[in-house]
Amino acid sequence: MIANLFNTDKQSLPSLPKDVKEAVRKCREATQEALKNRISRMDIEFPVGTKFNVEKSGSKSKGPPTLQEFQRSDRELARLFVEMFQPVGGDRIAVIFKEDEQAEQAKKLWKGDASAASRILALNRGKKQRTGKKSLGFANKLAAELEEEKSSGPFALPENIEVALFISPGPKELVVVEKICNQVGDGTLVVLLNTRLGSISNFGSAAATKLFTQTFESVFHLAAAPQDAAPNCLLHRAYPMDWVLARKPAVGPPKSFGRWSQRPTLEECASTFQSLQLSEVERGVENVVENVASWLK
C-alpha cells in the first residue's frame, strides 16, 4: 500500500519511554530483571533535572533548572528506589547522599512515611557544633569528643545493610564507593543513582576503572548522547535490552536509529549520526525512488 511506503519506523529497535511515568515503569522492570540475574552492582541514570512529581511541587520556576531542582530530582529518584526495596526492611536500606545538608533534607521530607523507611546517611560529614561542653564533666566531654570523631571520620556502611543507594556521587565519592564494594562483597546490592559515569574520564586506578565501567551494569539509562558526536540525540538502555541512539524529530516521539549490545563509544555515536543524512521521510522517499528505478530496468 502507498501509505506504508513512507513508514520507516524500525520496529526491531527498542523504543524510548514516551513520558516519565513510562520511564519509571521501565526502570522498575529492568531493575527486577537484573535482580533475577543476580546483578549486585547497578547504575541508574535519568535525564538531568527529571521531575518525578514525588514531592509536592511549589511554583514552577522559569529559566534553566537550579541546583535545588537538580537535588530534588535526585532525591525523588532515591525515594522511588527506597519504596521499591521496602520488602527487605527499611533498616536494611541505606540511602547515601554526598552532603549532610542533602541527607537532612531527605530525613525531613520522608519523616513519618512508612514507604520511605530507610537509613539516610551522608558521605561528606561535617563535625557537629561544639556547644554546651563547658558544663560537661571530663568523662562526658571525652565521650562527646569520641562521638564527634566517629561521626566525622571515614564513612562506613552500617552493618546488616542489604541495599546501598548512592545518590549522585562524584569522582571523589566514588573512591569511597569502591572501598564499600570491596568490603561488603556481592551479598549487598550497590546502586548508583544519577552518577553520570559516562562523563568521568579518570577513575583514579585500573581497578576502579574496571569496577565502574565493567562490573557496574547500566540497568537503566536515559540521557543525552555525547552532543559533540550526536547533537540533539538521546542514548537509552533498559536491561537486558540493547543500547539505542535516538533522535527527536520536530514532531512526534524520539525515533531510534542506532543499536549496540554494549554502550557505544564516542566514535560509534558520531559514525552512526553522520550516516543519518536524511530525515526519516526523506529516506523513505529515496528508497521508493531507488525501487522504482530498479523496476524500470
Confidence at residue 249, expressed as pLDDT on a 0 to 100 scale: 76
135, part of any domain: no
Measure the CA–CA gap between 38 and 211, rounded to whole angstroms. 16
Measure the CA–CA gap between 245 and 260, rounded to whole angstroms. 9
**pLDDT bracket for residue 141 (50, 70, 90):** low
38, part of any domain: yes
Bridge partners, residue 235, by sequence? 223, 245
267, part of any domain: yes
Structurally, the chain folds into a number of domains equal to 1
Measure the CA–CA gap between 245 and 225, rounded to whole angstroms. 7
| Residues present in the chain in total | 297
276, part of any domain: yes
* Mean pLDDT of all residues belonging to the chain: 84
133, part of any domain: no
**pLDDT value at 29 more than 80:** yes
57, part of any domain: no
168, part of any domain: yes
pLDDT tens for each residue of 144-155: 555 544 445 689
Domain that holds residue 235: 2-52+64-126+140-296
Confidence at residue 64, expressed as pLDDT on a 0 to 100 scale: 78
pTM here is: 0.81
What is the C-alpha end-to-end distance of the chain, expressed in Å?
22
**pLDDT bracket for residue 276 (50, 70, 90):** confident
188, part of any domain: yes
pLDDT tens for each residue of 74-122: 999 999 999 999 999 999 999 999 999 999 999 999 999 999 999 999 9
**pLDDT bracket for residue 135 (50, 70, 90):** low
**pLDDT value at 48 more than 70:** yes
pLDDT tens for each residue of 195-239: 999 999 999 999 999 999 999 999 999 999 999 999 889 999 999
Give the residue-averaged pLDDT of 115-136.
Answer: 73
Measure the CA–CA gap between 68 and 84, rounded to whole angstroms. 24
